Structure 1
Amino acid sequence: MSKHIKFYPLIFLILSAHGCSQRLIDEQVIFWDDYEQNSRPIIGTDSSFYIFHNSAERYFEFNDSRNLGRFERGGITLNLGGIPEHDYIRVSFDLYIHDKWEGDGERGNGEDVFIMNIDSSTLYFSSIINTKCQSQDCEAIQSFPDIINIRHNPENAEVKDASLPGVCHFKGERGGSKLIEIARQYPHGSSDLRLNIAADIKDAGPDLCLKSWSIDNLKVTIVELPEI
């Protein structure tokens, strides 16, 4: 979704435990991409590059926006270098789940899994299911937002919009696509970052009609804590 933002450090004030002095937390957006044709990524580092894996198309028009995707088992790897001094990395983006994801563990050939890694650490390896259920009382269960094999979360756990239309298998049907707003903060201090956003989905078909996924509004923010 196209958005206009200003690229500058965001300063927040935090009162100390004594209530007298103030400490500053410095937040700085180092990467932003909304994938629209009339805009270019905002990059606040010395170097960056994408690697695309198994994308049916590079871009995809959906929900009145231009998304990156659609994808099957692949995804993207974003490499950033020359990152300023910081203590945490925050990654946020819109994740769209399209059509018939089967992440309840009932299939014999495995689950449909969403994956996100920062460097060598896994933040998500989580099964997701989509049966077009649009409420918070769905019978189907999944592991997302928890790790795989923890299946006590309902379909639509942490879903922002469960009523979007399907793309192919559930084309035009409400609930055929789901929007999840991902936002994760992780301890990080290196000047280099390798971010992998991917999935392992089964039997999507050669045209990704049965199931697929896409992303929008990818943002990477660094957070520097005040010295004590």
Structure 2
Amino acid sequence: FNNDGFTLHLENTGDHDYVFISFDLYVHGTWDGNFNGFPENDKPDKWIMELDPEMDLIKDTSSDRFVTTFSNSPCFSNYCLRQSYPEMYPFENNPKTGNSKVDLPKICKDSYFGGNSTLYKIEKGFRHSGNAVVIRFYDELYQPNAIDKDGIVQSKCDESWSMDNLKVRIISYK
């Protein structure tokens, strides 16, 4: 995915108190974390997971939303594009903090930047009730260097992500 994502709808889950979500997140290419280093319009590369996204009117303060950033950048004393993960954005950690495996093979074979992939094994729990669960996974990436003069995206592979081993556990304490 690149400036995209997907929504998972689970119906007839029965009454419950918590939802636990675990998955392997692969971050591909040149994610820039909290800051991309561009002199103008410096924006983060965000990754977001939301429960019941259409039900919550105040997104920024919701406890049903996990917003973070990732950075596949090197980190030197004079140059370091920090990320938020494993914390929420705008917290700052060094690139690749909390990873399970780094320098995985490139998934992109195009000539545009690229970069290796990093694996994060993520598990998050949320208080939740009802008989259905809707989970949205998506990103908000800033890639002015991946767009040509006509506004056409040149590489959807760089700064992309994929997911594997998604598991959703519904917990009831009644």
Deviations 1:131-189 (A, max 9, x none): 257xxxx95421122222222x1111211101212223465x6xx10001111111111
SS in 2 for 1:73: coil
Post-superposition shift, 1:193?
A: 1.0
Match of 1:143 among 59, 63, 84: 84
1:78-97 map, 5 Å: 78-97=8-27
CA distance in 2, matches of 1:165, 1:98: 9
TM superposition score normalised by structure 2: 0.75
Cα distance 1:112–1:188, how it changes in 2: closer, same or farther (>3 A)? same
- Structure holding more strand per residue: 1
d(CA) in 1 for partners of 2:9, 2:50: 12
For the 8 Å contact 2:33–2:81, the answer to whether it is kept is no
Matched, 1:111 2:44: yes
- Match runs of 1:56-71 below 5 Å: 71=1
Spell out the pairing of 1:1-80 with structure 2 (5 A cutoff).
71-80=1-10
Structure 2 portions without partners, runs of 5+: 57-61, 147-152
The aligned residue for residue 155 of structure 2 is 207
Identity across aligned pairs (percent)? 32
Q: 1:188 aligns with which of 128, 131, 138?
A: 128
Whether the 8 Å contact between 1:124 and 1:145 is mirrored in structure 2 is: no
Distance 1:218 1:147 in 2: 20
In the alignment, structure 1 segments of 5+ residues that lack a partner are: 1-70
SS in 1 for 2:103: strand
Q: Deviations over 1:180-204 (max 9, x none)?
A: 1111111111111110001011225
State the alpha-carbon separation in 2 of the partners of residues 159 and 79 from structure 1: 28
Q: Alignment RMSD, CA only?
A: 2.2
- Output the CA distance in 2 between the equivalents of 1:220 and 1:210: 28
Q: Secondary structure at the match of 1:154?
A: coil
The 3-state SS of whatever aligns with 1:184 is: strand
Q: How many residues align?
A: 148
Distance in 2 (alpha carbons) for counterparts of 1:140 and 1:75: 24
Structure whose CA Rg is larger: 1
Between 1 and 2, higher relative CO (CA 8 Å, sep ≥ 6) is seen in: 2
**Partner residue of 1:159?**
99
